[in-house]
Amino acid sequence: MIVLGIDSSCDETAAALVRDGVACLSSVVASQVELHRRFGGVVPEIACRAHVENCPWVVAEALRRADLTLADVDGVAVTNRPGLVNALLVGVTVAKAVALARDLPLVGVDHIVAHIHASFLAAGGGPRFPCVALVVSGGHTSLYVLRSATDHELIGATLDDAAGEAFDKVARLIGLAYPGGPSIEAAAVGGDAAAFPLPRTSPGRGAPGGNTLDFSFSGLKTAVLYRAFGQDARPRQAVLRDPLAPVADIAAGFQEAVVDVLVRTTLRAAKQHGVREIVLGGGVAANTRLRESMRRAGGRRGLRVVIPPRELCTDNAAMVAVSGWFRLRDGERDGLDLDCHPRPVRASRD
Ligand code: KG4
Ligand code: ZN
């Protein structure tokens, strides 16, 4: 079964073709980074207009690269949550048009779950169950335990900033370009993390009823502000100049603190839930330090760590096609009244 996947949930317009949920035939992503860069973040109105312009040719290009036509497609999967509703609406409308015109089954997909399902496209094969999955993106930092590809339970989440959001905000603070993740990763090369030590926060630890698998990154961002610019610094100050430490050290220290917390918490989750497999997904999973650190730490404990290739960690539609394939395979269908939602679906076992 060949599934056409479409994603327009944030600032990338993406289309892809995937066979049987495991073989990526093509994946096209039209990035809007240049449009949003001078604003330091995604401007929803600009994102929507760009999706309208890009979506038709991105779908056509995905078909061209796979050497297919719509006549070869067996189903259409589209992200319909979570995300910017007006942005989601563009991809959903195109998906409905294709489904209607070609009389194809249509399914809506949750973007966060799709980030987990990207692991089925990893070299070496997808995860075996049960497993623990960490999704680290611009909007989410969430830990799930999966008993099958479609049975996921949320076991930990950020209480404030998402990991990617923290990367973006700290980058802005220290004068690095948007998006902050790749900028911080590049700036950290040659930096000395030990020269700029930062706290590791695990919010629920030790608190009565506290969830030891939750995350918190907003305090870390504030710690960077005070350590880099002094106790009098204020986050909304227009321009913060002359940090008290080299930018490379700040970037390395921050990256190390985030990676450390993500790895430790994920390993704790695997132990608590008695699983032997870990899945990593979402834009921050493109970070080399995180990928290496998770692999090394997991390997030391005899855990199998599944991480999709970098380009399938950041937003793409191949993961949407995989996720849709699971629903289509199970005989699920959505109608042409499929809605868009800003929030994720509740996990199947929340
Ligand atoms: O999954 P994604 O592409 O979009 C969302 O669903 O949010 O994630 C985007 C986030 C951004 O915050 C970006 O700064 C971060 O992923 N990111 C990275 C890297 N590449 C992207 N963070 C750390 N290191 C990277 N190499
Ligand atoms: Zn994403």
Q: Is residue 343 part of a domain?
A: no
Q: Is residue 344 part of a domain?
A: no
Q: Are 141 and 166 members of one domain?
A: yes
pLDDT at 349: 46
Which of 307, 311, 314, 323 to mutate for ligand 1's pocket (most ligand atoms within 8 Å of CB)?
A: 314
Where the chain has pLDDT below 50, the residues are: 238, 349-350
Residue 179 Cα to ligand 1 middle (Å): 7
- Cα distance from N-terminal residue to C-terminal residue, the chain: 31
**Together in a domain, 171 and 289:** yes
Statement to judge: residues 46 and 134 lie in one domain: no
**Residue 90 placed within a domain:** yes
Question: Which atom of ligand 1 is closest in space to residue 171's alpha carbon?
Answer: 14
Q: Does the predicted model carry a pTM greater than 0.85?
A: yes
Q: Is residue 88 part of a domain?
A: yes
Spatial separation of the C-alpha atoms in residues 327 and 339, rounded to whole Å: 17
In a domain, 177, yes or no: yes
User: Cβ distance 27 to 74 under 8 Å?
Assistant: no
What is the pLDDT, as a whole number, of residue 237? 59
Positions of E strands within 55-113: 75-81, 106-110
Q: Which of 136, 137, 290, 316 to mutate to test the pocket of ligand 1 (most atoms within 8 A of CB)?
A: 137
Pocket test of ligand 1: the residue of 88, 115, 165, 167 to mutate, having most ligand atoms within 8 Å of its CB, is 167
The answer to whether residues 154 and 275 belong to one domain is yes
- The ligand that comes nearest to the alpha carbon of residue 113 is 2
Residues 279 and 264 in one domain: yes
Q: Annotate 176-208 with DSSP letters as a single string.
A: PPSSHHHHHHHHHTT--GGGS------TTTTST
Are 147 and 250 found together in one domain? yes
Atom of ligand 1 nearest to the CA of 315: 3
Give the Å distance between the CA of 206 and the centre of ligand 1: 30
Asked if residue 215 belongs to a domain, the reply is yes
Q: 185 with 85, same domain? A: no
Nearest to 291 by CA among 325, 321, 314: 314
Q: What does the pLDDT read at residue 350?
A: 41
Q: Note the pLDDT of residue 51.
A: 95
Within a domain: residue 150?
A: yes
Task: Determine contact, residues 25/2, Cβ cutoff 8 Å.
Answer: yes
For residue 88, the model assigns a pLDDT of 97
Residue 289 vs residues 89, 174, 304, 335: alpha-carbon distances, Å = 35, 20, 18, 43
Domain match, 145 and 88 both = no
Note whether 251 and 318 are same-domain residues: no
Which residues form ligand 1's pocket by a CB distance below 6 Å?
10, 137-139, 164-165, 167-168, 179-182, 185, 282-284, 286-287, 314-315
Residues 220 and 302 in one domain: yes
| Structural domains in the chain (count) | 2
Residues with Cβ within 8 Å of residue 211, at least 6 apart in sequence: 155, 156, 204
- Nearest atom in ligand 1 to the alpha carbon of residue 9 is 6
- If asked whether residues 104 and 230 sit together in one domain, one would say no
- 96 shares its domain with 138: no
- What domain range is 230 assigned to? 127-307
Q: How far, in Å, CA of 350 to CA of 161, rounded?
A: 21
Q: What is the pLDDT of residue 316?
A: 98
Residue nearest to atom 22 of ligand 1 (CA): 181
CA of 178 to the centre of ligand 1 (A): 10
Q: How far is the CA of 180 from the centre of ligand 1 (A)?
A: 8
> CA 350, CA 345: separation in Å to the nearest integer?
10
Q: Read off the CATH number of the domain in which 106 is found.
A: 3.30.420.40
Instruction: With respect to residue 336, please indicate whether it lies within any of the assigned structural domains.
Output: no
Helices (H), 230-315: 247-272, 288-300
CA of 211 to the centre of ligand 1 (A): 25
Closest-CA residue to 160 (of 216, 212, 204, 83): 216
- Tell me, in angstroms, the distance from the centre of ligand 1 to residue 168's CA: 8
